[in-house]
Structures are given as structure tokens and as C-alpha cells.
């Protein structure tokens, strides 16, 4: 207990930036954006490992994006207990920050970050409105969890809604000691929240890129090295030694091609070229036939 009722997934924005970062030189601004998203996601995944270990009766929902009055708000983790819903925002900031007030913010060299608790309290208020709308009457409590062990915040005012890296174990124990018996109403609430999830921010900004300028070829799923050896049945990474079945390699790069170029038609030749002409055409053809619907236009066969 508990496996999350809703598991976390990378946003499309992160997946696109991750792929582009490997296949082209991103601008400084886009690269910073990419690293921030990647780091945030890794922090959330670290926190998920902790909530998966909770032994009491609760429902965990990870990575939700809601919409209220045409405005989106995102919540990293929701944990439903019998009487209370916990909203948790996970931050993976690294290094030494100084807390400054008016407005409340974290400062490091020339970087300033708004105190994340402010944003979280705004999300809490919106979630309350949403719950009111559907006549769910539970208490809501919000916490920011700073997951990175190297994070230090000087001059921080005492705030029971903020969990610093040295307090995380205590915070998890506190969650675990909440007496909780769930019933069908809690399940319905969880299902409602999942049904209200918007998935990805619509129209997240993307860097400009074109098919021609992107580096082609398969890369390792673990260490992202392009130095790989493709055999009959598997691909082996020359950098980390990781092995992946060729079918899985093809599926991974078909997904990447669709993600980056949703308007392009997926053909065997197209995927062959995307994989740097390194994966046999017949393997690509077979995987496409098995996993995608065949469409035909004139003399071309393509897949959706």
C-alpha cells in the first residue's frame, strides 16, 4: 500500500525538450528550461518512491493538471486520507538559497524564485472551489517538500507547511500515522479528480526545429549515448552496456518521431531514416504492422 491510483508521467513539453536536447543544440534559454523541467520531474519521482512506501489506508494521485474558470493549475501529488486531502508540491532545488521577504522569495546569486508555498496556497484555494462544486467536504492541507539533500535555505521563517530535506523522514512518518479508513466516497473522489485531469498544458511553447536539422539515429534509453551497436535482435550501448530488444527500440523511436512531428506520415522508410539507417527495414516494417494501423494512399503505405 499504496500503489498510486494515478501514476506520474513526463509532460509532452519535457519529452520534446529531452529529445531535442539530444538531437540538436538548444538555445541557452531552452536548455535552461529543459534542465529545470527534467530536474523537477526527477525530484517528483524521488518523492513517489517515498509515498509508495506508505502503509496506511490512503489513495495517492500523482501529477494532476486541473482547470478552473479557464485557468490551469497543477498539483504534483494528492494524497486522500479519510478526513483530509494532502496537496504536496515537490521542489528539487539544489544548493544554498537565502530567504527574503516582501515579496517572499528564495535567492541564490542572481537567481530569484518565488516562494513556492504561495503558489501552492493558490492551488489549494482553487482545489477547494473545485471540491465545493462537486460537493465533496474534506479538509485540505498543503505542503511544499524540498527533496534535494543539498538544498539549504538560510533565514527561512518557521513554516509548518514547508518540509526541508532533513525533515522528510519525519514528514513521511507523520503521513503514515494519520488514522484513515477509506470508503466508496473516497474512491469516487479519486475517480473524479482523475477525470478532471487535463493531461498536458495546451500549447506549451516549443523551440523551433525542423526534421532536416535534427541528428538522426538511435540512442541508448538509459544513458542517451548515440554510440550503440545494432544487431539482429537487440541494440547494445557501447557506453553503458545496456541492452534493448530491437522491437522496443523501434517502438521508442516511432513514438519520438510522432511526438516531434505529429503531422508527418509514419512509413517504414521514414522510421528507417530516423533511426540513422541503422535498424533493418524488415524489423521496422514488422513492428509497424504489429503496433499501428495500416493506411494506404496511392502507392504509399503509412501507419497511424
Q: Where are the alpha helices (DSSP H) in the chain?
A: 12-23, 28-52, 116-133, 168-176, 184-196, 246-260, 268-274, 281-291
Q: Which of 21, 56, 119, 225 binds Zn ion (CB under 5 A)?
A: 225
State the nearest-atom distance from the C-beta of 220 to Zn ion, in Å: 3
Q: Please check whether residue 253 is in contact with residue 274, taking contact to mean a CB–CB distance below 8 angstroms.
A: yes
Listed residue (167, 88, 174, 169) closest to 124, CA to CA: 88
Q: Which of 239, 267, 269, 301 binds Zn ion (CB under 5 A)?
A: 239
State the nearest-atom distance from the C-beta of 276 to Zn ion, in Å: 16
Location of C-alpha cell 499504496 = 2
| Segment interacting with Zn ion (CB under 5 A) among 33-41, 189-197, 218-226, 249-257 | 218-226
221 forms part of the interface with Zn ion (CB under 5 A): no
Q: For the chain, what is the largest distance between any 2 Cα atoms, rounded to a whole number of angstroms?
A: 69
State the nearest-atom distance from the C-beta of 45 to Zn ion, in Å: 19
204 forms part of the interface with Zn ion (CB under 5 A): no
237 forms part of the interface with Zn ion (CB under 5 A): yes
Considering the complex, state which of residue 228 and residue 271 has its C-beta at the smaller distance from Zn ion. Answer: 228
> How far from chain centre, in Å, is Cα 289?
30
240 forms part of the interface with Zn ion (CB under 5 A): yes
Pairing of β 152-154 and β 139-146: unpaired
| Segment interacting with Zn ion (CB under 5 A) among 49-57, 59-67, 232-240, 268-276 | 232-240
**What would the grid cell of residue 154 be?**
538560510
State the nearest-atom distance from the C-beta of 23 to Zn ion, in Å: 16
Considering the complex, state which of residue 222 and residue 289 has its C-beta at the smaller distance from Zn ion. Answer: 222
**What would the grid cell of residue 299 be?**
502507392
DSSP per position, 125-190: HHHHHHHHHTT---EEEEEEEE--TT-EEETPPP-TTEE-GGGHHHHHHHHHTS-----HHHHHHH
Q: Which of residues 242-261 bind Zn ion (CB under 5 A)?
A: 242
Q: How many residues bind Zn ion (CB under 5 A)?
A: 8
Considering the complex, state which of residue 157 and residue 231 has its C-beta at the smaller distance from Zn ion. Answer: 231
State the nearest-atom distance from the C-beta of 256 to Zn ion, in Å: 16
Q: Please check whether residue 182 is in contact with residue 67, taking contact to mean a CB–CB distance below 8 angstroms.
A: no
State the nearest-atom distance from the C-beta of 222 to Zn ion, in Å: 5
Binding residues (CB under 5 A) for Zn ion: these are 220, 222-223, 225, 237, 239-240, 242
Amino acid at each position: 500500500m499504496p500503489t498510486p491510483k494515478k501514476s506520474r508521467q513526463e509532460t509532452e513539453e519535457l519529452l520534446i525538450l529531452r529529445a531535442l536536447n539530444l538531437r540538436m543544440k538548444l538555445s541557452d534559454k531552452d536548455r535552461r528550461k529543459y534542465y529545470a523541467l527534467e530536474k523537477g520531474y526527477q525530484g517528483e519521482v524521488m518523492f513517489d518512491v517515498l509515498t509508495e512506501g506508505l502503509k496506511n489506508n490512503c489513495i495517492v494521485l500523482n501529477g494532476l493538471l486541473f482547470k478552473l474558470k479557464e485557468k490551469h493549475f497543477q498539483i504534483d501529488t494528492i494524497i486522500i486520507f479519510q478526513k483530509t486531502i494532502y496537496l504536496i508540491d515537490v521542489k528539487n532545488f539544489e544548493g544554498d538559497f537565502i530567504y527574503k521577504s516582501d515579496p517572499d522569495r528564495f535567492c541564490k546569486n542572481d537567481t530569484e524564485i518565488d516562494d513556492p508555498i504561495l503558489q501552492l496556497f493558490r492551488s489549494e484555494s482553487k482545489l477547494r472551489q473545485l471540491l465545493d462544486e462537486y460537493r465533496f467536504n474534506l479538509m485540505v492541507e498543503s505542503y511544499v517538500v524540498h527533496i534535494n539533500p543539498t538544498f539549504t535555505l538560510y533565514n527561512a521563517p518557521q513554516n509548518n507547511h514547508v518540509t526541508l530535506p532533513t525533515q522528510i523522514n519525519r514528514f513521511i512518518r507523520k503521513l503514515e500515522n494519520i488514522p484513515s479508513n477509506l470508503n466508496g466516497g473516497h474512491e469516487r473522489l479519486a475517480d473524479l479528480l482523475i477525470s478532471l485531469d487535463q493531461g498536458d498544458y495546451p500549447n506549451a511553447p516549443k523551440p523551433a526545429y525542423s526534421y532536416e536539422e535534427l541528428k538522426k539515429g538511435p540512442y541508448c534509453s538509459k544513458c542517451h549515448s548515440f554510440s550503440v551497436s545494432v544487431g539482429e535482435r537487440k541494440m547494445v550501448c557501447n557506453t553503458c552496456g545496456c541492452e534493448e530488444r530491437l522491437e522496443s527500440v523501434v517502438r521508442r523511436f516511432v513514438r519520438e518521431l510522432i511526438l516531434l512531428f505529429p503531422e508527418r506520415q509514419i512509413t517504414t522508410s521514414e522510421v528507417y531514416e530516423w533511426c540513422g539507417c541503422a535498424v533493418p527495414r524488415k524489423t521496422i516494417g514488422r513492428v509497424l504492422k504489429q503496433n499501428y494501423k495500416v493506411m494506404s494512399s496511392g502507392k504509399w503505405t503509412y501507419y497511424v
